[in-house]
Chains A and B, each alone.
Chain A
Amino acid sequence: MTGSEQVWAELLSSALVGLQRRPCTVGSIGDPLDAVVNAGPVDEESLLYAAGVVTVARRAGSAAVRVDVPDAVELPGEAVAGAAASARLSALLGAVRAAGDQRGARRLLHEWLLMAHDRQLVAPAHLVPLLLDLGAQDGTLRDLIQSAGGARAAWLAGLRPQEWGWSAPEPDLTESDWNEGTHRVAYLEQLRRKDPAAGRELLVQTWPSESAADLAKLIRACWHGLSPDDEEWLEKALDDRRAQVRSAAVPLLQRLPGSAYAARMGERVKAMCRVSGKSALIVELPSAYDAGLKHDGVEEKPKYGQGPRVWWLEQIIESAPLAAWREIDPDIGRLLKRRINDDLRAVVHRALTQATLNQRDADFALHLAHQSTVVPHAARSLVLMLPPEQAARVTVEALRAKTSYAAAFLSAVPAPWPPDVVAAVLARLTDRKLTDDSSWRGLVTHAESGLPPEAAADVEKPADDLPFGEVLRQLAAFLHVRSEIHREFER
C-alpha cells in the first residue's frame, strides 16, 4: 500500500463513524504531498483538507490500464444504401422512437426496409444497432431488419445476445434436447419440418409415457408436415380417454378432409341439413351429446352464452369436409343465400368460414366473402386465400358497390395495387356524395401504403372542394414522403 492509499484509508475510517468517535492520525504520504499534508493527528478541517489533496493527486496521477488491443472484425463488403436513403432511415428511426405519429413512421420504415431488401442494400453501419433495438420490440419487422442489417447485424447480435439474440439463427436442436427434456416441443417441431415421418415415429414411441398436458403440446407441434399418413395416430388420439388429448387432435384432423374423421363429420352434416325448395335450408340441431360426438372431440360445454346444441352444430360444421355441402347443394352461391330456420344463418356461415380457412377452398372463400353475415376480419382472411387477380376483382366490385366491407377486402390486396384497384380506390376517396362513413376512413389508412406514390396529385387536386379535404391532403403528404423515399433509392 502506498503512502497516499494508507492515508486515504485512515481518513475514510474516521470520516465514516465521525472524528468525535474515532480520532485520526495520518502518516507520511510521501513526496511531494508531504509538503501540503502534515503527518500527525488531524482535526475536522485538516482531515477534509487531506482528503481533498489526496483526491486531486489521485485524479492527476491516474494512469491508463494496459490491455491487449483486439483485432478489428472482418465483415464481408455489402452495398450500403446511398447518402440520401441513409439520412432518411436515420430520420424514420428517430420518428419511430419518439412519441407521436408512431404508426405512420413505422409504415414508412417498413417501406424503406422493403426497398432496401429488393435492391440488396444494407443500412449504414451506425444505424444497425438502432434497427436491432427496434427488432427486439417489434417482431413484424424482424426479417426485413435482418436483411438491412446484413453481416454487421449478425456480428453485433453475437456481442449482445440478451437484447439482440432474436436476430441469431434458430439453433439446431439435437437429440439431447429431446432426451434431457429441455426443448422437447421445439425439437419435435424442427424434426417434423425436416422429416415428418421421423417425427411421427418419435411421437408414437413416447406416447405411453406422456401426461395429458405434455402429449397435447407434442400433438400440436406436429402441425408442420401434416399429411394423410398422420391419420392413424390422430384417430388413436381420439380414442384416448383424456379430453385434452382429444381436443389437441381435432384442429389437425380438420385439415385432413379425406380422413375417416372428416367422413364421419360429413355424414353428420348431411343428416342434419337439407334443402327445401330453391331458397331455404333446413337445419336440425343434434338432439343429444352421444358417445360418437364425444369420441370425435366435440366439446360438450358451450364457450359463450350459446345453447349447447347450437355449439355442437358449429363444431361439426367446422370439421366437416366442404364436399359434403356440395352434395347438399352444388351451387355454392345459391347455398349461401338460402334462408335458414331458427336464426341459424350467422352460426352456419361462421362455421363454414372456419372450415373454408382450414381446407383452403378458394371457391367457398369467394362466395363467403360477399355474405353480410361474415365479419370484416374473416372477410380479409377469405380474400387473402384467393389468387391475386381474383382478390383484386372482388375488391374492385366491392368498392364500386360502396359496400362497407370494401376496406377489409382492400387490406387483403397486396401492395402495390393493380391499376383497376387504384382507380376504384381513387374514385371512392374523392366521391362527392360522401357523407360521414367510417369505412371511408379505413380506406384512407390502407391507401397510405397501397396507392402508388404518383397518385398524390390525384388525391390532392380535388381535396379543396371536398368535405374531408384535410384528410386527403394528409394522405397526399404521406404519399409524397413515400415518393421521396423511392427517389432517394434511385439516386
Chain B
Amino acid sequence: MSVGKVSVPAMPDPRWSTEQVHALAPDPSSLSAARKLATGGGWSQEGCGGNPLSVWGLCKGSGSSPYQAVVDLSEPAYRCSCPSRKFPCKHTLALLLRWAAGQVPEGAPPEFVQEWYAGRAERAQKRGERVAKAAEPRTPEQERAAQRRAEKRADRMAEGVSEVRRWLDDQVRHGIAGLDRAGYRHFDQVAARLVDAQAPALASAVRRLGSIPASGAGWEERLLAELGLLRLLTAAYGKLDQLPPPLADTVAARIGQPITSEQVLAGPRVRDIWQVLGSRDEFEERLAARRVWLLGRESGRVAMVLSFAAPGQALSVDLVVGTEFEADLCFFPGSGQLRALVADKHTDPRRLTHPGPVTTVDDALSAIARALAEDPWLTRTLVLIRAALIPGKPWYVTGPDGAALPLTPSAPAPWPMLATTQGAIAVLAAEWTPDGLIPLSLYASQTEGAVLA
C-alpha cells in the first residue's frame, strides 16, 4: 500500500533539543566527554546547512591536525576522523550539542563534507544495486541451488519444530506445577537445540518461557497461556502450505525463517509522514535490541524498526523519539507484520508537537483485536490515545470517557509525565502488552515537545 500525496506542514525550527542529542549517546561517559568538548574552545570552521541538511566542524584533539566531524541530520549519519570506536563519538555528539544550543552558524559545506557526501552516495548506489539484484529473476541454475539450500534448511527447521511440539506435550503430560524449581536450564536446553535447528525466533520464544515461573503469583496461568500459543504456532508451521500465504509468512517469521533486508526492501513501499513515538531497549543473550515505534500520520499504520548491537557496540540511534519525517517504509512480509525498514527518507526529521491520529481507549482495543486476528502471537504494538494518568498500584491511563487500561507494573512509573500533565488529559503514546501498557512519550499543550517516561 502506498499513500499518494502527503502534505508536509511547515516547521520553523528543525533543530533538535539537547535531550534528543542526549538520547543518541552510546553511553554516559561519551556524553559527559562530549559536554566538556562542546563547551571548550577547541572548535573551528563550524557550520550547518547543505543538502542533505548537515552540521560540521573541526575539533582540536590530542594530535596535530584537528578531527573532522560531520553529521547528516536527515538520517542522522555520522562521520569523524577520530580513532574512537564509540558511535557516535564524543566529537560528533559535542558538535550536535553545540548545534542544538544554537552555537553553530549557517554556511556552505566545506570540502571534507562534500567528499563524505560523495562516498556515501556511492555506497548507497551499491546498496541499491544489491536490492535490485535481489528482485531480479535468478538463472535456472541459481534457482536450483537456492532451492536445495532452502529445502535443507526447511528440513532442519521442521525437525526442530516437531521436537518442540513433543516437548510441549510432555510439559502438560507431566504437569507444570514444579517448573518454578526447574530453573532456566529446563528451557534453555530446548532453546539451544532450536538454534541448531536454525529456528532462532522460536528459540527465543522458548527461552523467554524460562522467566515466567520466577515472575510471581499466577505464573502457572501465564505459562500455560504461552505454552498454548507456542502449540498453536508449531501446529501452524506443520501445515504451512494450507495457510493463506500472508499468515504462512507470519508463522515462518515467528519460527525464524530468515529474510534479508534486500528482500524486504524489494517489497512494496509505504509512503507517509512517520512519527517516532517511542523507543525501548531489551537485552537477550548479551545481545542488545532496540525497538523503535513509528506511526504513519496519514495512514495511521504502526511500524516497528528493530536494531541490534553486540556487547560493547552502541545501538542504532537514527530514529529520534519526538521527531517525524516523510519516508518510504518497507514492511516485512506476513499478515499483521509491524516490523519494517526505512527505505527512503524524503525529508529531514523535524520536531513533532502534535502526533496523530489519536484514538480512544476503546478504539485502540478494537484495533488490537483486529491486529490479533492477523497475527495471534502479537505481544506488543503501539497505541496513541488521549488519556490522563492515574498513579496507584497499578497506575491507570483513562480516556475522557472513563475507559481505562492498567500500566504494566514492571515498567517504571511515569512520574515525569504526570508532573507535566498535573493529571489532565494529554496525548499518550504507549506500547500495548497483554500485561498492560508501557508509556513511551507524551504530548501536552504545556510542553513544546515529547516528554519521555
Chain A positions near chain B (C-beta within 8 angstroms)? 11-12, 14-21, 44-45, 47-56, 59-75, 83-84, 87-88, 90-91, 94-95, 98-101, 105, 124-130, 152, 155-156, 159-160, 460, 477, 480-481, 484
- Are the CB atoms of A70 and B39 closer together than 8 Å? no
- Are the CB atoms of A66 and B17 closer together than 8 Å? no
- Are the CB atoms of B40 and A477 closer together than 8 Å? yes
CB distance from A462 to the nearest CB of B (A): 15
B225 at the interface (CB under 8 A from A): yes
* Contact of A64 with B362 at beta-carbon distance under 8 Å, contacts A14-B172, A55-B229, A129-B419 already known: yes
CB distance from B415 to the nearest CB of A (A): 4
Residue in A11, A87, A481 whose Cβ sees the most chain B Cβ within 10 Å: A87
- Are the CB atoms of A90 and B404 closer together than 8 Å? no
- Are the CB atoms of A70 and B388 closer together than 8 Å? yes
Residue from A50, A128, A160 within 8 A of B228 (CB atoms): A50
- Are the CB atoms of A90 and B22 closer together than 8 Å? yes
Sample (5) of A-B pairs whose CB atoms are under 8 Å apart:
A15-B175, A21-B175, A44-B168, A73-B423, A126-B451
CB distance from A141 to the nearest CB of B (A): 18
A209-B291 Cα distance, complex, nearest whole Å = 68
Chain B positions near chain A (C-beta within 8 angstroms)? 17-19, 22, 28-29, 31-32, 35-36, 39-41, 100-101, 165, 168-177, 220-221, 224-225, 227-232, 235, 361-362, 365, 368-369, 372-373, 376, 388, 390-391, 396, 398-406, 415-425, 434, 446-448, 451
- Ranked nearest first, the 3 interchain pairs of A and B with the lowest CB-CB distance are A51-B228, A18-B175, A98-B28
Contacts of B362 in A (CB 8 A): 64
- Are the CB atoms of B177 and A16 closer together than 8 Å? yes
- In the complex, the chain B residue whose C-beta lies closest to that of A153 is B419
* Contact of A129 with B423 at beta-carbon distance under 8 Å, contacts A72-B388, A95-B32 already known: no
A105-B152 Cα distance, complex, nearest whole Å = 58
CB distance from B296 to the nearest CB of A (A): 23
* Contact of A54 with B173 at beta-carbon distance under 8 Å, contacts A156-B415, A477-B40 already known: no
* Contact of A66 with B373 at beta-carbon distance under 8 Å, contacts A44-B172, A73-B422, A94-B22 already known: no
- Are the CB atoms of B446 and A125 closer together than 8 Å? yes
Number of CB contacts from chain A to chain B under 8 A: 195
Residue from A56, A61, A160 within 8 A of B376 (CB atoms): A56
A126-B19 Cα distance, complex, nearest whole Å = 12
Contacts of B418 in A (CB 8 A): 156
Contacts of A75 in B (CB 8 A): 422
- Are the CB atoms of B173 and A44 closer together than 8 Å? yes
- Are the CB atoms of B423 and A45 closer together than 8 Å? no
A185-B445 Cα distance, complex, nearest whole Å = 49
- Are the CB atoms of A91 and B35 closer together than 8 Å? yes
* Contact of A91 with B446 at beta-carbon distance under 8 Å, contacts A17-B175, A100-B28 already known: no
- Are the CB atoms of B39 and A52 closer together than 8 Å? no
- Are the CB atoms of A20 and B388 closer together than 8 Å? no
Residue in A45, A49, A51, A83 whose Cβ sees the most chain B Cβ within 10 Å: A51
- Are the CB atoms of A15 and B28 closer together than 8 Å? no
A232-B401 Cα distance, complex, nearest whole Å = 70
- In the complex, the chain A residue whose C-beta lies closest to that of B100 is A87
- In the complex, the chain B residue whose C-beta lies closest to that of A71 is B423
Residue in A14, A44, A74, A130 whose Cβ sees the most chain B Cβ within 10 Å: A44
List 5 extra interface pairs beyond A16-B220, A60-B368, A152-B422, CB under 8 A. Answer: A17-B177, A21-B175, A125-B420, A126-B419, A477-B39
A91-B19 Cα distance, complex, nearest whole Å = 7
Residue in B22, B39, B172, B388 whose Cβ sees the most chain A Cβ within 10 Å: B172
- Are the CB atoms of B28 and A480 closer together than 8 Å? no
CB distance from A140 to the nearest CB of B (A): 22
- In the complex, the chain A residue whose C-beta lies closest to that of B166 is A44
A105-B35 Cα distance, complex, nearest whole Å = 11
Residue from B28, B230, B434, B451 within 8 A of A94 (CB atoms): B28
- Are the CB atoms of A69 and B29 closer together than 8 Å? no
- Are the CB atoms of B174 and A18 closer together than 8 Å? yes
A126-B416 Cα distance, complex, nearest whole Å = 4
Contacts of A74 in B (CB 8 A): 422
- Are the CB atoms of B169 and A45 closer together than 8 Å? yes
Residue from A12, A60, A124 within 8 A of B369 (CB atoms): A60
Residue from A20, A64, A72, A91 within 8 A of B404 (CB atoms): A64
- In the complex, the chain B residue whose C-beta lies closest to that of A123 is B419
- Are the CB atoms of A72 and B423 closer together than 8 Å? yes
- Are the CB atoms of A66 and B402 closer together than 8 Å? yes
